[in-house]
Each structure stands twice: as structure tokens, then as C-alpha cells.
A and B are shown apart, each in its own frame.
Chain A
Amino acid sequence: MEFFRIRRDIPFMRHALVFNIISALTFLAAVFFLVTRGLNFSIEFTGGTAVEATYAQSANLERLRGVVGGLGYGDVQVQNYGTSHDVIIRVPTKAGVDQKKVPDRVFGALCAAESGTVSTADSARPICVNAAKAEPVVMKRSELVGPSVGDELMRNGLYAMISVVIGIMLYLAFRFEWKFSIAAIVANLHDVVIILGFFAFFQWEFGLSVLAGVLAVLGYSVNESVVIFDRIREAFRSFRKLSTMQVIDHAITSTISRTIITHFCTQMMVLSMLVFGGPTLHYFAMALTIGICFGIYSSVFVAAAIAMWLGVKREDLIRSGKPEFDPNDPNAGAVV
């Protein structure tokens, strides 16, 4: 089987300007949504309490909102989590509320709404039992994060992002050239901003695992740029007559098959997480999916194009093999 039968180099760079404009527009749209809507940070970042519960029947969200709203915790979110039987209730941090009591009080209210009572007798966990001795609602998970922890996570996330960017730039500058390093990082930050843009637009929950996914994708899609840059360097060496634009076209064309197959394979794995991983891995896989799709696009159309605008030349990558002076010449370096 072979999917890619490309006879001639595809003139990607001829359309570089068009693609760059498209990129710029997407990027601006992403920034626009980030600014106007902002990210829907999970309680890991904002601090607060989350309670996950499972109902024997489909949960009636409207009714639950009324029940939990009655506790006076302010802006409480009630949503389905995974299936219609599962709900997640998020309670923000509020001054004057003892956070530690929130999970139990929320569960108590949920239980009372199902006309049951919470008992902790003879079990390591609180159980809600109704008159029929059945469990109408089960607390699956509760999570509580103090506000100071959230701030710290946010800061550390930012540090991690910055150190990834700096680390990759330094490595590429050392391994290739600064123009490539700038091109690769711009292209991939563009991916990151677009992922964030998606999260802002759809108001998907942005948690720690999503952050991990975004950073992993950042390292991964730099690979793309590296593969193409490797080829550009090789092509500069072997085809001395080609112009920079032709070299870049050749490099992209000869790696396009690998680019697409690799991404396809990775995406299959990510898809498997999206399908089987359940709600915990859902947004992680989502971030990876967007990152992988835009990763192909950006390394082909953005990174190479930026390197071209920055004016990479054959000389940048191939240092002339000849030494400046002949080491055997006793007069070398002597100035008269």
C-alpha cells in the first residue's frame, strides 16, 4: 500500500503568503476568543470544590441546580459528566464557607432530594439510603482545592510552558540555526494558541491534564518542523542548484508521506483515548487531537514559510568545509 505518489515537488511555498494569512486569521480569532471568553479553568486552577455523583436513573439537571443552589454557595455549576446518569457539581470558593464541609453538605442535599438519608455506619464511605433500602445516588468522587494551590498551579503551568519554549529554541538554534528556531517556535506556539482558542470558544474545561496534553503536543509538533528542517539541510547539501524556495518545497514534499502517516498513527491512539478514556481523559484527548491536526498544518505551511521569510540561506546550514588557513602552512595567520 502506498498513499502518496507525488511526481514532482509540490510548490507549497508559492502559496506561502495565502497560508500565512489564513494562519494569522485563525490565530487572531483564537486570541479574540481567549480575550473575550477566556478559558474555563477547572477547579484545579481556580480553587473550589467538585462533587461527582451517579444516579440510578438519568439525572434531572434543572432540579439538581435548584437543590444545590439552595445551599447558598453562589455560582454553582451542575453538568452531566460522561453519561446522563453522572453529574458533576462545581462549587466556587466563597469567603466565609468552610470548604472542607462542602462535599458532604452537597452530597447530603443531593441525598435529601432523593428522599434518602446519608449514613456512614459500617462503611468507609458515606452511603445514601432511601426508604426502599436502595442507593438512589452514589458519590463517586469529590475534590477540593484551596485558592492558594490554584494560583501556584497556574504559575507553575506558565513556567513549564516558558521553559519548554526556551529549551526547544536553544536546542534548535544549536542544532540548526536561529532562524529555524524562531520559525519552529512561532509555528508551534501558533498551534498552542489555537488549541487554547478552541477551549475558550467552546468553553471546554481546561484542567491540569489538558495543560499536560498541550505541552506534550508542543514538544511533539516541534518534531514535524525538525523533520522538515533536517530535509532542508540535506537538500541544500545535495542539490546545489536549487533555490531556497525549491529546496523547501522539495523537503516538504519528500516528508509529507511520513508526516501524514505518523500523525495518523498518533491520532489513532488519541482517538482510542477519546472513545474509551471516559470523561477524565476526554479533554486531554481533545487537546491532543486539535494539536495534532494543526501540527501538520503549521509545520508544513507556517514553520517553513517563516524560515523562508527570515531568509534562510544555504550558507546558514552548511558551514564551508574548508578551514580558513592551511594548518600545515607555517606562515598561516602571519600578518605582514
Chain B
Amino acid sequence: MNRYPVWKFVLMVLAVLIGATYTVPNLYGNAPAVQVSAAKLTSKVGPETATQVQQLLAAASIQADYVTFEGTSVHARFANPDIQIHARDVINAGLNAGADKDSPPYSVSLALVPRAPVWMGKWLHAKPMYLGLDLRGGVHFLLQVDLKAALDKKAEQLVTDVRSLLREKQLRTVVARDGNAATMTFHDAAVATQAFNVLTDAFPDVQWNQVAEGTDAKISGALKPAALVKVQEAAIKQNMTTLGNRVAGLGTSEPVIQQQGPDRIVVELPGIQDTAKAQELLGRTATLEFHMVDETAEGYAAADGSGPVPFGDDRYENSPDVGRRHGGATVVKKDVIASGDDLTDAQANIDQQNQGNVVILNLNAKGARNMREVSGQNVGKLLAIILFEKGKGQAISVATIQSELGERFNITGMPNAEQANDLALLLRSGALAAPMEIIEQTAIGPSLGADNIEKGLHSVAWGFVAILVFMCAYYLLFGMFSTLSLGVNLLLLVAVLSWIQTTLTLPGIAAIALTLGMAIDANVLVNERIREELRGGSAPQTAISAGYERAWATILDSNITTLIAGLSLLAFGSGPVRGFAIVHCLGILTSMFSAVFFSRGLVNLWYGRQKKLKSVLIGQVWKGGSKPGASEADAADTPGAAR
């Protein structure tokens, strides 16, 4: 009756092994490392940077545990902080050789990475949990994105686009903006119908309506709901990309930029506590300016560095992509044709006519007016786009003006799709798709983080020890089984949390403690039930079996009610409450496994084989009522036990 088939024991062993495997990475702690990330929008970090770092380290004969490229940065792990600092200096000197000291292309900083063996993460996906800011220190921002402004911008753009399209088709009307819709009135019904067809073809995302108003025909169009959602999603995404670019320059390890809810973005910067600096960084707009290139002999001389910069001109370094065709620098006229504020969108695309890669730019009405005027007079001349970062400009595009440019024009001749994408990204990073506002901000000092880890761990450890001592004293051997399975519960819970890579926070640790405190309930229920069965006169083997079976229904019921509370917290909670809820819910699930299946296995292993079991070590069983026959049944050989 109290025997498990072999496969159940195998399952138990497997559970412990797997649990241990995924828990172990958390015990290793952190190792010193050097992180390399792009400090400027125009510098790129990729797998080739990792190779470069490797070569630099090899040249200086520094031993690194590994050098990897992941996400947007390169990490190199070292055995101790001395080597780490030496390596940082070597890498910094190598990568940023010859660069301007104030704005180097790469940010090389000290970081901490998990010390866990690399093969565990690589082959088993066993990595330590990510520690929340309250445990490691850093700043957290919650930014509210003003999506209404994004829609506003989009509506403005729609009106402009419609206006230029109708002008092109020579359909005369006045296009006005009404809320988020573009409206226009035609005196001639035939023209209206023609316009309606043109508009429907050109703007499939827009819902067009035509109504007759007396003799006039009125056409209005607003974005379809699906397109509205797309605009908002694109706005959030662009803002996140822009934030990512801005944060990258900070060189902080593992910055988190995540969307939360429909219109919010979370930014977490571990290891930073200076909120003022971080605020400035997030609010910074890399500005973009459109200038005409000075193509006079003096201009070119200044660009080569062989002459002084002419009066009324500025000299800017070229980005590597531009540099390949236009040399190291570009000299432009000081007059700004349009700026980043005027740029409403930039997208990489493929030109239908000559199959080349292009970047499509959209300007607002003000920018377009200037652009039309200047470009009309300068067809055949060079237009430069300058990106300003940390107060320093760089030419990211130099292109010949083919014809008069307006609201929407292309930069053609991009050598490949990747470069077109990069340029579009650079252009977009100059501006946010929608303004943002900081609505929540937390800064946690590193000492507080370490303190919190210690406090959380002590809470769990001492609570666990107290329960262990009490259970063993009260239920003797069964108490031992209970605490062993509670230990397995802890192991499995930590393993699951590491496996799904949750962020561990102090409330999360509290949830682990609380879940363990509640999980012991299942064991108490079982043990009490077994005692009760024994008291009622059952033979030990029968009592164990009946105890587990009868308690099961109750355990299930009580865990489900707890789970309902946990899931509600998960559904409606945010931030710390969510962390708490995730751990709580998972803990309930693992506790059902360990308290029922696992502890039963232990009991079966110990007692299951003993055919003539006379007594079990479950603490004193007081037979108060001393019911007749109880002592006989105690001694009797039950058929179930003999099987």
C-alpha cells in the first residue's frame, strides 16, 4: 500500500537533481568584468568588437575567462578585480585610441557578471536570477508616454500628405484638420468622387467618408482603429529605441528598458544613483540639423584640413559611412534649413524604380517650406545632415539634391539595407515620437541593496530553521520528512524562478519565506491526519495511506484558495506586488509537489517495505478515548502492508 513504483522514485531523484542544477548558479555570486558598449550613436558594438577585445587582451597577455557579445555590449570576465582594472585600461586605450577624450566612441566600464560556469548557462540555460534594483542598487524610472501627442503629430502629417497629393493631382480644395481627421469640401461632385478614389488608393490606413452637403461634397478621413494602434505602438517602440541609445552612452551594465502597460516605459539603470544625471540623460534630445555643404575651394580646403574654416561655415567630422565617400570631414554653411524638431519620421525602404536602398524622410510643414525654398535654388548641390551628441556634431549623411524637396523625400544611393536602416535609426533617434514624463522614480544606494539581500536571506534562513526544529521535535521522523520536503520545495522554487529568469526583489524574497511558512500546512495536515488514524485504531501502514489520501482533498482546496489570491495579485499588481505574486503562485505549485508527492515518497521509502510495521515515529499519539480494539489493531498484520 505504501510502495511507490520505481518511476516515481526516479522522478523524485530527477526533481532534486534538476532543482539543484538550476539553483546552483545563484550560489556562485558575481565576478569582476569589463563591459564595452557604444558611447555614441554612430559607433557600433558587435561580434567583431568582441574579437577586437580578445586581440587587445591577448596582446597584453591578460587572461580572461571569456569575452562575449550579447545584446548591445561586450563583456569580458576576469578572475579578480586587479586584472579587471588592468584590462579596463588596456581595452579603453585600444578601442578609443586616437579618439577625442571627451566623447570617445566606446564606453569601457567595470561591471559585475555572474561567476557561474559558462557551460551551465550555455548548455543547460541554468543562469542565476536577475537581482532587482532594491537588491543591487540603481535608479528606476517609470515614464508616461503622451500618446495623444503622437496621434496629433500623425494627424498633422496626414493633412500635409493629403494636401500635397491633391495638389499633385490638381484637385483644388482646402484641406483642414478636424480633431484627428483631415476634411475637405468640393463644389463639384465629380471632382469629389475622383478625389475620393485617389485618397482611398493612396491612404489604405485611413477610413474615408464622403457626404453630400447641399450642392457641395465633403470628404473626411481619419485613421482606422487598427492603424491608430499601430501608430501608438510605433511611437512607444521608437521612444524605447531612443531611450536605449541614450542609455547606452552611460555604460551601465544591464540597463532595462521595458514597456509597461499600453503607454508606459520602465527604465532601470543598475549601479547608478545620481538621479539628476540620469534625468538629464533620458530627457536629452540628440539634435539633428540640415545644412548645405560649402562646395567652394575654400570649403574643401577646410574639410581637408589644409585651410582655415571660412567665415559663416562650420566643420564637422564625418561618420565612418559618410567618410568612405566624402573624406574625413565636411564643411557646411551655418544656416539651418531644418532641424530634428521638423523631422516627423525616417524609414528605410527599397526604391521601386531602381531597386536601391533609400531612407524616406518626412518633414513637418515648417521644415518643408524651408526645405523647398533652399533645395529649389540648390539642385545638384550637396545637402548634409549633422547629428549632435554631447554637444558635438557629426555628418551622418551627405547627399546630392536631385530636385526640389518638400515634406517627403528620399536619400538614395545607400549601399545596402543595413546602412539604410542605421541611418534611419540615427535620424529617428534625434527625436522622440511622443513626449514623455517621469511619473515614478526610485534611487537605491548600493549599500541598501546589499543590506536588503542580507535581511531577506536571514528572514528565510531563520524562519526555516525554526520550522525545522519545531517539526522535528513535534513529529519526530515524520517531521524530518516534512522539513526535507520543505527543503526540496525551496530548491524547486528557486530553480523555477532561475529557469524563467525572474527578477528577484525583496518582496520576492518575502514571498519565498511566506510561501514556505504556508507550505508546511500541507505536511501538518498529513501528519495530524496520520496521528488521528492511529488514534482511531488503524494499523500504521493503513494510517499512513489513509492520512495522505484524506488530507489530499483538503490540501488541494486550501491551495486553490491561496492560488486565487495569488493570481488576483498577479493580474492587478504592478512593480513589487507583481514580484511577490509570481513567487507566491509558483511556490504554491511547487509545494503541492513536494509536500504531497515527495514527502510520501520519503515515507514510503522508509516504511513501505516493512511488512510487519508495529509503530511509526510520528511523535506521541495519545489515545485518550482508548477505544476498544485499538491495541489489537495496532499489532495486527494488515493485508495492505503485506502486499
Report if A100-B445 is in contact (Cβ < 8 Å); known contacts: A222-B561, A277-B456. no
Interface contact B564-A167, CB-CB below 8 Å: yes
- The answer, yes or no, to whether A175 is at the interface (CB within 8 Å) is yes
Contacts of B463 in A (CB 8 A): 268-273
Chain B nearest CB, measured from A177 CB (Å): 13
Contacts of B470 in A (CB 8 A): 264-265, 268
Interface contact A258-B622, CB-CB below 8 Å: no
Interface contact A168-B474, CB-CB below 8 Å: no
Pick from B150-158, B209-217, B368-376, B435-443 the stretch touching chain A.
B435-443
Interface contact A219-B452, CB-CB below 8 Å: no
Give CA–CA (A100, B574) in the complex, Å.
22
Report if A269-B516 is in contact (Cβ < 8 Å); known contacts: A138-B445, A227-B525, A277-B510. yes
Contacts of A144 in B (CB 8 A): 438, 440-442
Tell me the chain B residues, 493-509 only, with Cβ under 8 Å from chain A.
506-507
Pick from B160-168, B270-278, B314-322 the stretch touching chain A.
B270-278
Contacts of A52 in B (CB 8 A): 448
Pick from A31-39, A156-164, A325-333 the stretch touching chain B.
A156-164
Interface contact B574-A230, CB-CB below 8 Å: no
- The answer, yes or no, to whether B619 is at the interface (CB within 8 Å) is yes
Give CA–CA (A63, B563) in the complex, Å.
48
Interface contact A218-B565, CB-CB below 8 Å: yes
Interface contact A209-B580, CB-CB below 8 Å: yes
Give CA–CA (A227, B554) in the complex, Å.
6
- The answer, yes or no, to whether B560 is at the interface (CB within 8 Å) is yes
Partner of A272, one of B462, B558, B622: B462
Question: How many residues of A are counted as interface, with CB atoms below 8 angstroms from the partner's CB atoms?
Answer: 77
- The answer, yes or no, to whether B520 is at the interface (CB within 8 Å) is yes
Chain A nearest CB, measured from B575 CB (Å): 7
- The answer, yes or no, to whether B521 is at the interface (CB within 8 Å) is yes
Interface contact A171-B564, CB-CB below 8 Å: yes
Interface contact A104-B276, CB-CB below 8 Å: yes
**Interface residues of B toward A: which range?**
35 or more
Interface contact A208-B576, CB-CB below 8 Å: yes
Q: Which of A104, A123, A212 has the most CB of B within 10 A?
A: A212
Chain B nearest CB, measured from A190 CB (Å): 16
Q: Which of B277, B464, B473, B513 has the most CB of A within 10 A?
A: B513
Contacts of B558 in A (CB 8 A): 222-223, 226-227
Tell me the chain A residues, 113-142 only, with Cβ under 8 Å from chain B.
120, 123-126, 138-142
Interface contact B566-A258, CB-CB below 8 Å: no
- The answer, yes or no, to whether B309 is at the interface (CB within 8 Å) is no
Interface contact B513-A216, CB-CB below 8 Å: no
- The answer, yes or no, to whether B455 is at the interface (CB within 8 Å) is yes
Partner of B443, one of A141, A254, A272: A141
Interface contact B560-A171, CB-CB below 8 Å: yes
Q: A267-281 interface mask toward B, CB cutoff 8 Å, 1 = contact, 0 = none?
A: 111111101111011
- The answer, yes or no, to whether B581 is at the interface (CB within 8 Å) is yes
Chain B nearest CB, measured from A47 CB (Å): 9
- The answer, yes or no, to whether A301 is at the interface (CB within 8 Å) is no
Pick from A19-27, A146-154, A307-315 the stretch touching chain B.
A146-154
- The answer, yes or no, to whether A71 is at the interface (CB within 8 Å) is no
Residue of A nearest to B467 (CB): A265
Interface contact A276-B444, CB-CB below 8 Å: no
Pick from A1-9, A196-204, A316-324 the stretch touching chain B.
A1-9
- The answer, yes or no, to whether B518 is at the interface (CB within 8 Å) is yes
Contacts of B569 in A (CB 8 A): 160, 164, 212, 215-216
Interface contact A219-B562, CB-CB below 8 Å: yes
A-B interface contact total, Cβ < 8 Å: 254
Interface of B (DSSP majority class): helix
- The answer, yes or no, to whether A173 is at the interface (CB within 8 Å) is no
Interface contact A159-B572, CB-CB below 8 Å: yes
Q: Which of B144, B514, B576 has the most CB of A within 10 A?
A: B514
Interface contact B554-A226, CB-CB below 8 Å: yes
Contacts of A254 in B (CB 8 A): 532
Interface contact A230-B565, CB-CB below 8 Å: no
- The answer, yes or no, to whether A78 is at the interface (CB within 8 Å) is no
Report if A288-B514 is in contact (Cβ < 8 Å); known contacts: A142-B442, A212-B580, A226-B561. yes
Q: B21-42 interface mask toward A, CB cutoff 8 Å, 1 = contact, 0 = none?
A: 0000000000000000000000
Partner of A168, one of B506, B553, B561: B561
Interface contact B274-A126, CB-CB below 8 Å: yes
Residue of B nearest to A143 (CB): B442
Contacts of B557 in A (CB 8 A): 175, 223, 226-227, 230
Give CA–CA (A1, B574) in the complex, Å.
45
Interface contact B506-A145, CB-CB below 8 Å: no
Give CA–CA (A284, B521) in the complex, Å.
20
Contacts of A255 in B (CB 8 A): 528
Report if A209-B514 is in contact (Cβ < 8 Å); known contacts: A226-B554, A230-B554. no
Residue of A nearest to B458 (CB): A276
- The answer, yes or no, to whether B266 is at the interface (CB within 8 Å) is no
Give CA–CA (A221, B558) in the complex, Å.
9
Interface contact A160-B573, CB-CB below 8 Å: yes
Chain A nearest CB, measured from B142 CB (Å): 7
Give CA–CA (A230, B555) in the complex, Å.
10
Interface contact A125-B445, CB-CB below 8 Å: yes
Q: A81-107 interface mask toward B, CB cutoff 8 Å, 1 = contact, 0 = none?
A: 000000000000000000010011000
Give CA–CA (A218, B456) in the complex, Å.
23
Q: A179-191 interface mask toward B, CB cutoff 8 Å, 1 = contact, 0 = none?
A: 0000000000000
Give CA–CA (A171, B563) in the complex, Å.
11
Partner of A2, one of B511, B575, B621: B621
Interface contact A278-B572, CB-CB below 8 Å: no
Give CA–CA (A223, B572) in the complex, Å.
22
Interface contact A273-B510, CB-CB below 8 Å: yes
Partner of B528, one of A123, A139, A226, A261: A261
Interface contact B564-A208, CB-CB below 8 Å: no
Report if A212-B443 is in contact (Cβ < 8 Å); known contacts: A7-B625, A270-B517. no
Interface contact A230-B553, CB-CB below 8 Å: yes
Report if A216-B451 is in contact (Cβ < 8 Å); known contacts: A100-B441, A258-B528. no
Chain B nearest CB, measured from A15 CB (Å): 23
Give CA–CA (A156, B576) in the complex, Å.
13
- The answer, yes or no, to whether A220 is at the interface (CB within 8 Å) is yes
Interface contact A125-B273, CB-CB below 8 Å: yes
Chain A nearest CB, measured from B527 CB (Å): 9
- The answer, yes or no, to whether B584 is at the interface (CB within 8 Å) is yes
Report if A269-B447 is in contact (Cβ < 8 Å); known contacts: A2-B622, A144-B440, A276-B459. no
Give CA–CA (A169, B565) in the complex, Å.
12
Residue of A nearest to B273 (CB): A125
Tell me the chain A residues, 277-296 only, with Cβ under 8 Å from chain B.
277-278, 280-281, 284-285, 288
Residues on B lying within 8 angstroms of A by beta carbon are: 134, 142, 144, 271-277, 279, 437-445, 447-448, 451-452, 455-456, 458-460, 462-464, 466-467, 470-471, 473-474, 506-507, 510-511, 513-514, 516-518, 520-521, 524-525, 528, 531-532, 553-554, 557-558, 560-569, 571-577, 580-581, 584, 619-622, 624-625
The 6 A-B pairs at the shortest CB distance, nearest first, are namely A219-B565, A269-B517, A125-B273, A272-B463, A146-B439, A223-B558
Besides the known contacts A142-B275, A223-B562, A262-B525, 19 further A-B residue pairs in the complex with CB atoms under 8 A apart = A1-B474, A1-B619, A2-B619, A5-B622, A125-B273, A126-B274, A141-B444, A149-B439, A160-B571, A219-B566, A220-B565, A222-B558, A226-B557, A226-B561, A230-B557, A268-B467, A269-B467, A275-B462, A277-B510
14 contacting pairs across A/B (C-beta < 8 A): A7-B625, A124-B273, A142-B441, A144-B442, A163-B572, A164-B564, A227-B558, A230-B553, A257-B528, A265-B517, A268-B470, A269-B467, A272-B460, A278-B452
